[in-house]
Amino acid sequence: MNTEYIGIIFMYVATVALAIPLGKYIAKVFKGEKTWLDFMAPLERLIFKFSGIDPNREMNWKQHLKALLTVNVLWLFYAFFCLLSQGHLPLNPDHNPNQTPDLAFNTALSFLTNTNLQDYSGESGATYYTQLFVFMFLHFVSAATGFAAMMVIFKAMKDKVTDKLGNFWDYLVKIITRLLLPLSFVVAVILAFNGTPTSFKGKDTVIGLQGDTVHISRGPAAAMIAIKQTGTNGGGWFGVNSAHPFENPNYLTNMVEDISIIIIPISLIFALGFYLNKKKLAWVIFGVMTTGFLLMVFPSVIAEVNGNPAIAHLGVSQPTGSMEGKEVRFGPAASAYWGITTTVTSNGSVNSMHDSMMPVSGLAQMFDMMINSFYGGVGVGFMNFYIFIIIAVFISGLMVGRTPEFMGRKIEAREMKIASLIALLHPFIILVGTSLASYVLMHFPNADWGTKPSAWLNNPGNHGFSEMLYQYASSAANNGSGYAGLTANNIFWNVSTGLVIFVGRFFPIIGPVAIAGILANKKFTPESAGTLKTDTTTFGIMIFAVIVIVAALSFFPALTLGPIAEHFSLK
Amino acid sequence: MKTYLLPSIKITIILLVILSGLYPLAIAGIGKFTPGHGDGETVSYKGRVVGYANIGQKFTKDEYFWSRPSAANYQADAGVGSNKGPTNADYLNKDVKGRIDTFLKHNPGVTKDQIPAELVTASGSGLDPDLSPAGAKIQTARIAKIRGITQQQVLALVDAQTEKPLLGLFGPPKVNVLKLNVALDELKK
């Protein structure tokens, strides 16, 4: 079999094989059992002591949210002001300028929320200070924030728990010291030994073999790229992200980075099983997510490997598939596989330009972000899925005439209202954003906003519409990848996607935590013959159906105007 | 508010020190022991640094193996892809078609269907350092003729510079264009 296919199959199998023990390990850490990384405990004690935090103080769900939101608002202001003044801050060997207010607004929100939509290019739009002390810092803590919120739900799902849902700071710090930091360290070392720069030197100037002068951007990139992947962040050091030959030098680093993208989201499913001692439920969730994932991988890989019919029409051969926007060292299969892993997980790093991919791939990538819970981002992926579980439980309950119950607690009107609002919020902000942009584009093409709306798009027709739809889907899903042809660094896009990013992050955190908190306070009834079983294949199919129906009904019309129409116009 | 704000500020400070200060410094320290000492690995010719092994370079002269088209013109402080969509008529009929015509003009004897698409499509980074072996081999006749050497010599060079898939199992084979062209210049002497 061809080495490109073997490459991606190996990547997936290796990911799952590593994710199961990793999930067990995560469950152990948060059950307070002994693990081999216990030597990090003194560091944790130092952090808590310095911060004046008692990590053993139990919080209820409201206190968790207060802590989460307070610290996030603080990080937002910190990031915003650093970006506005980065030109004057230290560690700026290339003398890059400050970000404009609208760009800083978008960038700060984007990194705070684990989105990492980048309307700037790292080479010219950021400094080593902002890369390390803003972006990389937020890479760690935004992933940890999502994880901490998810842990509240895990804890709330335990039997007979009520108000004692653990300590927010404890979750936040431990996921960093016990998982994100050690894992990133390993990945960063692998990257460094394969050619990713690690030093603090600025640009180099070289006269090439043919006599051209080139300037080569560098910097301490390896450390950041590692956490960008493991934390499902995606915001890279260089503008073209993991397509850049320093950011992702060869096929080995590509495998390591791509495995890093989905390993934590997958391991968290197993962590749930080990933590609650409900392994069957974990396998049901894993089955649903994997089915969705594979349904996206196959068509995209096939489309890219087969190449672009329009290019074939021009008479050249495509032995290595569709190559526009792709790198030779990865090839079409690994590029398509990456495109799916990065969009199912809200990572958003890219190793090829999605804007140039086949419409089928674009459809799959956008659909991934519209569903946003086939694996999903660190912590938040499970939380989105949790909403779908609640809805599926409720609908199944109605169908079979039983009281809808999940984990021994009754699901009633209040929880369902929250769940429905959160499930509908996602399509709402994507579609309203896209229609607003389309409206402005059609009716005010020459508005004088720095970039005229008529100059936004890099491609005509359906593909141009896809550029806008993708941008809002990516923002709402906190993904951060883009159809990079879109001219997004201007006030309209910076502000509108900034707002979508914000709404798309915090409400889907608040909602599920609230539901879990409310449920935990209800009377616990042990499973009986009358309980609707949630750890069965039937229920898995039910969740899958709910997801597909909600997402398909909401997004099908928009997708028809974009990638679906483009696919059928491709000859 | 005070219950949460004060710990928030303090934990931010200490996490900044650990995550943004110590962690990248540790990686930078380890980076000193890597082949490029953390600065990126360079390639030299006649004692002069002519580029970075990982960063593609523009090669448009007929006596060198051409690198792939680049939307960034191989400016390695502003890498970018073309982001042209697969159905974009301007892109297909001007960009790609223009590159096909140029390639045919400079490589007499090559027919259209022998040109691999990578030679007429722009890479994702605009800095792609590689070609597929087929993308290099299709250029050997031109190079052999201009340099006055046999095509076998050039083909042998391509074979010698071809990097096989990882462990012979994973990913596509490739040729680093800069290294290949340096080897080509070294052949002359």
- Strands B48-52 and B42-45, by their bridges, are antiparallel
- What confidence category does residue B189 fall into, taking pLDDT thresholds of 50, 70 and 90? low
As a whole-number percent, the residues of chain B with pLDDT over 90 amount to: 92
pLDDT (tens digit, 9 = 90+) per residue, B94-151?
A: 999 999 999 999 999 999 999 999 999 999 999 999 999 999 999 999 999 999 999 9
B167 domain residue, yes or no: yes
CB proximity under 8 Å: B 141-160 to A: none
Q: Report the gap between the CA of A444 and the closest CA in chain B (Å).
A: 24
ipTM confidence = 0.95
Domain residue extents for chain A:
380-569
Using the beta-carbon criterion (under 8 Å), do B57 and A212 form an inter-chain contact? yes
B172 domain residue, yes or no: yes
Closest chain B CA to residue A132: B20
Q: Which chain A residues touch B34 with a CB distance below 8 Å?
A: 192-193, 195, 198
pLDDT at residue B188, rounded to an integer: 67
Phi first, then psi: give them for residue B61, nearest 5 degrees: -75, 145
**B29 lies in the same domain as B61:** no
Of the partner residues B60, B87, B135, the one whose CB lies closest to the CB of residue A569: B87
Q: Which chain A residues touch B63 with a CB distance below 8 Å?
A: none
| Residue B56 at interface with chain A, using a CB cutoff of 8 Å | yes
Residue B113 per-residue DSSP state: G
**B95 lies in the same domain as B182:** yes
| Residue B121 at interface with chain A, using a CB cutoff of 8 Å | yes
**B4 lies in the same domain as B74:** no
Tokens of B110: 């090559």
**B18 lies in the same domain as B105:** no
Of the partner residues A201, A209, A327, the one whose CB lies closest to the CB of residue B51: A209
pLDDT at residue B1, rounded to an integer: 63
Are the C-beta atoms of A276 and A154 separated by less than 8 Å?
Answer: yes
Domain that holds residue B26: 1-39
| Residue B98 at interface with chain A, using a CB cutoff of 8 Å | no
Tokens of A237: 């050091």
| Residue B94 at interface with chain A, using a CB cutoff of 8 Å | no
Sign (positive/negative) of CA torsion A53, A54, A55, A59?
Answer: negative
B3 domain residue, yes or no: yes
pLDDT at residue A161, rounded to an integer: 77
pLDDT (tens digit, 9 = 90+) per residue, B151-180?
A: 999 999 999 999 999 898 899 999 999 999
Counted domains in chain B = 2
Among residues B164, B96, B173, which one has the least CA distance to residue B131?
A: B173
Are the C-beta atoms of A428 and A556 separated by less than 8 Å?
Answer: no
Task: Kindly report the pTM of this predicted structure.
Answer: 0.95
| Residue B130 at interface with chain A, using a CB cutoff of 8 Å | yes
Using the beta-carbon criterion (under 8 Å), do A246 and B60 form an inter-chain contact? no
Using the beta-carbon criterion (under 8 Å), do B7 and A53 form an inter-chain contact? yes
**B103 lies in the same domain as B135:** yes
Using the beta-carbon criterion (under 8 Å), do A318 and B5 form an inter-chain contact? no
B94 domain residue, yes or no: yes
Phi first, then psi: give them for residue A308, nearest 5 degrees: -90, 115
Q: Report the gap between the CA of B150 and the closest CA in chain A (Å).
A: 22
User: How many Cβ atoms from other residues are within 10 Å of residue A498's Cβ?
Assistant: 24
Phi first, then psi: give them for residue A317, nearest 5 degrees: -95, 155
Of the partner residues A193, A201, A324, the one whose CB lies closest to the CB of residue B84: A324
**B160 lies in the same domain as B75:** yes
| Residue B134 at interface with chain A, using a CB cutoff of 8 Å | yes
Using the beta-carbon criterion (under 8 Å), do B24 and A214 form an inter-chain contact? no
Q: Which chain A residues touch B123 with a CB distance below 8 Å?
A: 243, 323, 325-328
Tokens of A302: 């096939």
B147 domain residue, yes or no: yes
Residue A501 one-letter amino acid: I
Could you list the mean pLDDT of each consecutive 10-residue stretch along chain A, which spans 571 residues?
89 96 96 90 95 94 95 96 94 93 94 92 93 96 95 89 90 96 97 95 93 93 96 93 95 96 95 94 95 96 95 92 95 96 94 96 95 90 93 90 87 93 95 96 89 91 95 94 91 94 95 94 83 88 93 91 94 76
Are the C-beta atoms of A241 and A353 separated by less than 8 Å?
Answer: no
